[in-house]
Amino acid sequence: MPDHSRPLREQLGFVGGQIDRADHIRTRSELVAQAFASPQARLVMLDGLDPVTADGHLAMAALQPDAKAQDHVLLGLDEDQRPIFVRLSNVEGGFFPTERSHAIATQLSAHEVALYGTARSLVHWHARHRFCSVCGSPSHPEKAGWARRCGACNSEHFPRVDPVAIMLAEHDGRVLVGRQHRWPDRFYSALAGFIEPGETIEEAVAREIKEEAGVTVHSVRYVMSQPWPFPSSLMIACIGQAQDDALTLDETEIEHAFWCDAAGVRAALANDPAAPFIAPPPMAVAHHLLKHWLDAQLVPPGPSA
């Protein structure tokens, strides 16, 4: 699991949240109104979907006098019991991280990065789900922004989280890394894909690796997870054992892939210019998955029987 005591530059992004999500307030309109009226209430500032920072912190402001509770999401209560809100807006796009959203992983504390991730996911979800998926009529926020209800058929909708399997196949002391067509030159990462209805995590890992690289894996094991608010995924990191190392790539999905040994992974994680590939940044779970695998290669063998 990720170690939240490590330096921020090595932190897995969007984890380590400390806010009390205050479910007991969300479901009671009088308590939501009380929280919104509190002089201690604070608003997380966003520029569209990008974070706004000030003096090394996520920027916060007081609620405006003319602000309306129904236009905001109650993110929760901070360590000082202050209600923390974010304002809803009809933003467009936002399916990929920007330079500003990447940079905050090295600028802010882990819990502030996690707070931004939660705010971004919820604002984006509301912007993309203004109409009921059952009857097509307009819907409106309720439960302090943690649900929407259709005004016509009364259907209730909740923020979605899309599970994504992200995985390494390992074989004979090497791991499989690949790259998509749109990625920067020399950038490689773990393979990944959405978990489909009716699948376990293990089945999705095996299917995705088979589909994208033609590799059959077994003995899939879970390593860690990460919320990824672009727009709202849960990255579920795993490692599986490959039966063999023969590759048959789906070139519509993967531009190139190769098996990399521990020395190559070590060089990539150290940003060595001579490394065989450029590794994902520390804010991404793929970076920590590669490091987890590399650390396991360094464990000395136990005493012989």
3-state secondary structure of 17: coil
pLDDT digits (tens, 9 = 90+) for 236-267: 999 999 999 999 999 999 999 999 999 999 99
Q: Which CATH superfamily is domain 162-297 in?
A: Nucleoside Triphosphate Pyrophosphohydrolase (3.90.79.10)
Q: Does the structure show a pLDDT above 80 at 298?
A: no
pLDDT digits (tens, 9 = 90+) for 218-239: 999 999 999 999 999 999 999 9
pLDDT digits (tens, 9 = 90+) for 78-113: 999 999 999 999 998 888 888 888 889 888 999 999
pLDDT, position 106:
83
pTM across the whole model: 0.92
pLDDT, position 299:
62
Task: Specify the pairing of strand 217-228 against strand 156-157.
Answer: unpaired
3-state secondary structure of 9: helix
pLDDT digits (tens, 9 = 90+) for 156-193: 999 999 999 999 999 999 999 999 999 999 999 999 99
Packed helices 110-128 and 99-107: angle between N→C axes, nearest 10 degrees: 150
What is residue 20's DSSP assignment?
A: B
pLDDT, position 301:
53
pLDDT digits (tens, 9 = 90+) for 104-146: 988 899 999 999 999 999 999 999 999 999 999 999 999 999 9
User: Where residue 72 falls among pLDDT bands split at 50, 70, 90?
Assistant: very high
pLDDT, position 1:
41
Task: Specify the pairing of strand 217-228 against strand 53-54.
Answer: unpaired
Complete DSSP assignment for 120-183: HHHHHHHHH--B-TTT--BEEEEGGGTEEEETTT--EE----EEEEEEEEEETTEEEEEE-TTS
Q: Does the structure show a pLDDT above 70 at 3?
A: no
Secondary element (H or E) of residue 82:
none
pLDDT, position 303:
58
Q: Does the structure show a pLDDT above 60 at 9?
A: no
pLDDT, position 4:
40
Say which residue the tokens 């999401």 belong to. 73
pLDDT, position 37:
97
Q: What is the mean pLDDT of the chain?
A: 93
Burial of 103 (0-12, 13-18, 19+ CB in 10 A): middle
Angle at 87 between CA 84 and CA 88, to 5 degrees: 135
User: Where residue 6 falls among pLDDT bands split at 50, 70, 90?
Assistant: very low
Residue 178 to residue 191: CA distance in whole angstroms: 6
Give the residue range(s) of CATH 3.90.79.10 domains in the chain: 162-297
pLDDT, position 300:
58
Secondary element (H or E) of residue 239:
strand 233-242
How many CA atoms lie less than 13 Å away from 126 in the CB half-sphere?
26
Higher-pLDDT residue of 299 and 83 is: 83
Burial of 284 (0-12, 13-18, 19+ CB in 10 A): buried
8-157: what fold?
Nucleoside Triphosphate Pyrophosphohydrolase (3.90.79)
Q: Does the structure show a pLDDT above 60 at 5?
A: no
pLDDT, position 302:
53
Packed helices 285-297 and 262-269: angle between N→C axes, nearest 10 degrees: 140
